[in-house]
Structure 1
Amino acid sequence: MSLILLTSTDDPSVPTSARNRAAVVEDFARSQLFDRTFREGMELVEETAAYLDGEGRRDSKLLSRSAALAYAGESMKLTTRLMQIASWLLVQRAVREGDMSADDACQPRYRLADRKPEAEPTSPELPIALVEFLVRTEKLYDRVLHLDRRMYVNAAEEEALNPVQSHFDRLTAAFGRG
């Protein structure tokens, strides 16, 4: 007896939209765009950590009390944003390496949150290096968020975009392919 495993791209009970989304996720995870984005994201994490642990620590000690508080707040925002990017990239890598299915990667808990446009850093005294890391991180976050939105269109948005396909998917799921 042989066991046949159906993935989302093979299972007729899974709507076409979900099969397509999983295929897009798998294709992206194997792409050069992913390779470049992953490398850029992880390098930015390492550069930022090195700065905050070394030169940034020295820079922050030279700041006034109010600027030092602003530095602490901005560095926390920076590290939080970088961890969100890194987590998203690691999910995509898990898909690439077969440690996670594309269907699992499509779950809402792995999506990036929309970001509110950030105001200028709260102190003009902040070290230029910190400000540059903030800018680079926000740009990368915006690019990754764009990829996330393009790859993981949720079912409600997809149904609104193509209600006929949605009805066809429901019929196919109910009656199978004939």
Structure 2
Amino acid sequence: MTDSQTPTLFPAGSAPAARAMDFCKSEMFGKLFREGMDLVEETASYLDGAGRDDAKSLNRAGALSYATESMKLTTRLMQAASWLLAQRAVAEGEMTAEDATDGKYRLGSDRPTEQLWPEGETPPAILTNLVERSRSLYARLKRIDDNLYADGMPEIESNPVADHMERLRGAFSQA
């Protein structure tokens, strides 16, 4: 399956919870879960090992770009892993499929940044490969998430600052 294809294993018109349960018990999910967890392990191994040496070989601006890119990579993979683990919990009966439709288990949009690397500085090839693979994995998971939970909670562009301000307004208006 290519990145641009959306899985067709979800019956049209079925409830999100039913689609989620079917998907979580599928062979496709098992392969996707293993791929995601393997990428998390591979990334952690690189960042804790050879990646440290790669970062040290960069100039100051490059090292800052490396730190930024590795943070974004780690965050993206942790969100993907969290989603995969929630789906596995559904498959194993530790969570209901209805609970998995809750917004806190949904994937938000990945927001790639503009070019982080300073002119003349080349990012380490392994880091670039991990970033590309993590973006591909995340995009696939996001498409599946959107397909599974299409009738569930509508996706709303989240603005963390505005959300926090709204919670503060609500807390102080009740006082």
Which TM-score band (shorter chain)? 0.7 to 0.9
Count of residues in Structure 1 that have an aligned counterpart in Structure 2: 141
Structure 1 portions without partners, runs of 5+: 1-16, 158-178
Structure 2 partner of 1:41: 36
1:125 positional shift: 2.1
| Pairing of 1:48-63 with structure 2 (within 5 A) | 48-63=43-58
2:41 partner SS: helix
Cα displacement (A) at 1:118: 3.5
User: Structure 1-normalised TM-score?
Assistant: 0.74
Q: 1:24: which partner in 2? A: 19
Q: State the Cα deviation string for residues 80-108 of structure 1 (Å, max 9, x = none).
A: 00000000000000000000000000111
Q: Distance in 2 between matches of 1:151 and 1:130?
A: 31
Larger helix proportion, structure 1 or 2? 1
Do the aligned partners of 1:121 and 1:131 also contact (CA within 8 Å) in 2?
A: no
Quote the Cα distance in structure 1 between the aligned partners of 2:53 and 2:59: 13
The equivalences for 1:137-176 within 5 A come to 137-155=134-152
Give the alignment's TM-score, normalised by structure 2: 0.76
| Deviation (angstroms), 1:137 | 0.3
Percent of paired sites with the same residue: 49
Q: Are 1:108 and 2:103 counterparts?
A: yes
**Runs of 5+ in structure 2 lacking a partner?**
1-11, 155-175
Per-residue deviation, 1:153: 1.1
Bigger radius of gyration among the two: 1
